[in-house]
Amino acid sequence: MTAPRKSQTPAATASPEAPSCPAAVLAAAARAHVALQELSRTAALEAAGRGDGALDGAGLSLQWHPGSSPDDLAEAAFRFYAEAISEERLFRQGRVHCYACGEPACEHSAPPSPGAVCTGYESTGRPRWQEFFGYLLELGDERADRLFLERAEILARVVGRNRLIADQLTTFGRNAFTYRIWGQVVAGYLQVRNTRAALSAQVVEDKRHRLHLQVVATDELREALADAPDDRRSAFTRVYDALAEARNQLAALNSVWQHGNHRADAVTVRERAFAILRHLAHSIEQKGRQQQRRTSHAEMRGGQNRPVHKAYDDVVAATAQDFYTDRFKGSTIVAGRAGRVHAFNDTGRHVTSLMLTGDEFSRRCARGRYVPYAGGDPEAFRASVLARLPEADAPER
Ligand SMILES: [Zn+2]
């Protein structure tokens, strides 16, 4: 059923040329029509803070059949007006959309200091920020002082949508899909040069109902994460990996959300999104602790485990499918046995060897870091490696 436009009154529908429609049916339709106009008005007011008159150009059209539920009608009408006030905008890296200015590049959209996290929106749709430490206190997190111990811990918290939009008015984007935050993880501190930096990782839905993991932080922190050394003892590498994992999980969830029935899936998908956020918070904290627990002794042991001496054997034994290109580092990777991985520069010089535990290797492939060797003939590359590998690297031949 399509809600008739306002100008189309029931009287106009009941033209003399259509005498076959009985008066009782016309009367019932007139009552339904009034009820639908009321639905349209209320939905517009609740979703956008405006009457549907102000949104006339929007052209609400509703599907109805005897089996559909009132909830379906409500959801469809509300969603329609929420979408009508939304804009399709490219997200800016590291920033939050500012509904007050209507853009993601104003002075309000970025953290005002490296240690600030996003705490949602002010009534006027302006992003709100707070020092991570103070926000943890506000959330009643008793661990906050651990941020300042000599061996400081990295802490993380999940924050839900309701808290973020508690003060935001409907007229300033409360229900909009321009940048709809479902929830976020706030985490810190990471030491970037001489400053303590924090981040907010948000699950955000856009106007086309795609889900994004938006990492909100200063450029310096985002660069430090992107340039993290290929060393799992680095807090940056661990946090980077945790974010990459969350992004992969969210991409999988996104395809369910994109192709499913929004109303039927809403609860499940939201729960799964929060499971991703909880897992992200947990793994950021765990990775932070692991970093702190490591002693120099453990690092030394880690060094002894480096499988450099196996490089020669592994390169000899590698099949063509064991050669990869590392798109982040621009190096060539040879996958060896038992999780050993060897990296070479483009002239075949051995750069480093490492152990990738668990599913780390497949995760690097899944996120497009390791791709099948893109440098030409693997045999030619193998020859250049073997010609260069020093004898000392092949003690077990
Ligand atoms: Zn602004």
| Cβ 133 vs Cβ 197: under 8 Å | no
Strands (DSSP E) contained in 300-395 are 323-326, 331-335, 340-344, 350-355, 370-372
- CB within 5 A of ion ligand 1: which residues? 98, 100-101, 106, 108
Q: How far is the C-alpha of 190 from the C-alpha of 197, rounded, in Å?
A: 5
CA distance linking residue 288 with residue 198, whole number of Å: 13
Among 175, 206, 160, CA closest to 78 = 175
Distance of CA 351 to the CA centre of its chain: 33
Residue 56 pLDDT level (bands cut at 50, 70, 90): low
Give the pLDDT score at 297: 36
Stretch among 16-20, 108-112, 157-161 having the lowest mean pLDDT: 16-20
Please give the model's pTM, rounded to 2 decimal places: 0.67
How many other C-beta atoms lie within 10 A of the C-beta of residue 363?
A: 16
How much is the average pLDDT of 287-298? 47
| Residue with more model confidence, 27 or 13 | 27
What mean pLDDT is predicted for residues 153-172? Answer: 95
Ligand 1 centroid to Cα of residue 120, in Å, is 13
CA–CA gap between residue 335 and residue 352 (Å, rounded): 12
Cα(379) to centroid of ligand 1, in Å? 56
Helices and strands counted in the chain (H then E): 12, 11
In the chain, what are the domain boundaries? Answer: 10-84, 116-294, 304-393
User: 229: pLDDT confidence band, cut at 50, 70 and 90?
Assistant: confident
Residue 5 has pLDDT above 90, yes or no: no
CA of residue 331 to ligand 1 center, whole Å? 42
CA of 191 to the centre of ligand 1 (A): 28
Straight-line distance from the first to the last Cα atom of the chain, in angstroms, rounded to the nearest whole number:
78
Ligand 1 centroid to residue 103 C-alpha, Å: 7
pLDDT band at 232 (very low <50, low <70, confident <90, very high): confident
pLDDT confidence tier of residue 50, bands split at 50, 70 and 90: confident
Q: What is the pLDDT of residue 10?
A: 52
Query: Which of 367, 365, 363, 318 has the alpha carbon at shortest distance from 344?
Result: 318
CA of 44 to the centre of ligand 1 (A): 25
Cα(124) to ligand 1 centroid in Å equals 10
Q: What is the pLDDT of residues 257-278, one digit of tens each?
A: 888 776 778 889 999 999 999 9
* pLDDT for position 390: 53
Query: 8 alpha carbon to ligand 1 midpoint, in Å?
Result: 42
Q: How confident is the model at residue 59 (pLDDT cuts 50, 70, 90)?
A: confident
107 Cα–ligand 1 center, Å: 6
Which DSSP string do the residues of 58-120 spell out, in sequence order? G-------TT--HHHHHHHHHHHHHHHT----PPPTT---BTTTTBSSSTTSS-SSTTEEEEE
Distance from Cα 49 to the centre of ligand 1, integer Å: 20
Q: What is the pLDDT of residues 301-358, one digit of tens each?
A: 334 344 566 777 788 888 889 999 988 778 899 998 878 888 888 888 887 777 787 7
Q: How far apart are CA 184 and CA 386, in angstroms?
A: 49
